[in-house]
Amino acid sequence: MKMIIGGKFVDKDQKIPVLNPEDDSIIEYVPSASIDDVKKAYEMAEEGAKEMGKLSSYERYKILRDVALYVETHLEEFSRTIALEGIKTINEARKEAARAANTLMYGAEEAKRLQGEILHVDADFRSARRSGFWYREPVGIVLAITPYNDPLNMVAHKLSPAIAAGNAVVLKPTYLTPLSALKLAKAFLEAGLPEKALSVVTGKSGTIGDALVSDPRPRVITFTGGVEAGLEITRKAGLKKLMMELGSSSAVIVDYETDIERAAQLTADGSFYAAGQNCIGVQRVYIHRSIYEKFVPLMVEATKKIKVGPKLSEETTMGPMITKEEADRVERWINEAIEKGGKLLIGGERRGNYIMPTIIENPPSDTHVVTDEIFGPVVCLFSYENLDEAIEKANSSRYGLHAAIFTENLHKAMKAIKGLKFGGVMVNDSTDFRVDYMPFGGYKYSGINREGLRFAIEVMTEIKTVIIS
């Protein structure tokens, strides 16, 4: 499959194999881009940004609408690509493809809502004979860098607001799952997006990463990935606007005033969706001591029902880790937690790139499964005495993306909402909940700024103020 530079399909002699993580078989090859390819993409983007600036709001709306409808009518094709190159089962992939269509349609709608305001500057004693207003203009060029766990919808989350706002985009999908991004980019070009306004550069960050982020031409970098990579980008980006979603250690609090069976089922679902390779997946669960002995068996039973197997099987509910190296890491972390005193309640087994759904009780606070983002099918259970203690423990992480509380007590819910230092707090639901137009992002090391169409557009536009005397 060829990459795209300024709307043109480009091949290279040096290629990168795209592997199916289920068995590491090669399903496709993509070009390994060079620094010269990055420079060419930005040259094209400079011209593309000018062309985008000439499009009306309706024209941008129509492009995004047509791409959304294309994804909707080719849902099974996109779903199969997501499942083959990534870690999701076919049913999980179908949900992602449907969400991507929605994300694109939300962007289409936002393209018609780019507005400003009248400035009543005559309220100042110096400005009696002046009037003013402000409005938004596109920043010009957006660099988008996307991860493997949502290879289509995460790309849609970058392209949709950028194009709705009138920008050109240089997209670098991870080399692990580039095929969904290329298929979506092709749909954009067929929908009439100016060719020079879109490049999809396939390659490894070690080769082209510095050239992409340090180039002065993009005004915005939108990145989803790990903290270490995010910190490197901030060091090398220069004077740019940054949107970053960098990870999580999502915490759930289970109060005794709740439907315990429902809480256990939703918590298990949120722990093992996409084999735990999900930034808002449940990682830490704090259960009130009075219901702990009842809750734990219910969650273990819910976990036993998960069917691990071939991704394209309609019966499978959980797939593999993305690579052998990631499976190795998660296996090490599980073993460390058990060796240091955590109790293995279920799982812990390894079969190739598959890690069986794993629950660990009371792992020590200095183990990786507690201090770091697991990004695998592992969840940790703890008990607590009172709500203040649970909130404090939930907040002890360096991350702050999503948290949740299960309770029927409104006072406790409000106390948790105010006390939890997270970008999103779910009440009576798993942390693994997201509507694609809501403001999405986190506190602390979980990132900078917010995704969600209109919130991303705020970053991907500049405010121009006009004063008339």
Instruction: Point out the residues that are catalytic.
Output: 245, 279
Name the phi and psi angles at 122, rounded to 5.
-70, -5
| Three-state SS sequence of 308-344 | ECCCCCCCCCECCCCCHHHHHHHHHHHHHHHHCCCEE
C-alpha 459: how far from its chain's center? 17
Contact partners, residue 233, CB within 8 Å, separation at least 6: 145, 213, 221, 223, 242, 244
Q: How far are the Cα atoms of 117, 189, 440 from residue 128, in angstroms, in the given order?
A: 19, 50, 42
Are 114 and 136 a contacting pair, CB within 8 Å? yes
Pairing of strands 168-173, 141-146: parallel
* Burial zone of 284 (CB within 10 Å; 0-12 exposed, 13-18 middle, 19+ buried): buried
Are 52 and 167 a contacting pair, CB within 8 Å? yes
Name the phi and psi angles at 358, rounded to 5.
-125, 130
Residue the block writes with tokens 């020590």: 364
Are 372 and 354 a contacting pair, CB within 8 Å? no
Q: How far are the Cα atoms of 47, 138, 140, 168 from residue 54, in angstroms, in the given order?
A: 11, 11, 12, 12
Joined tokens for residue 377: 């099918």
Are 8 and 194 a contacting pair, CB within 8 Å? no
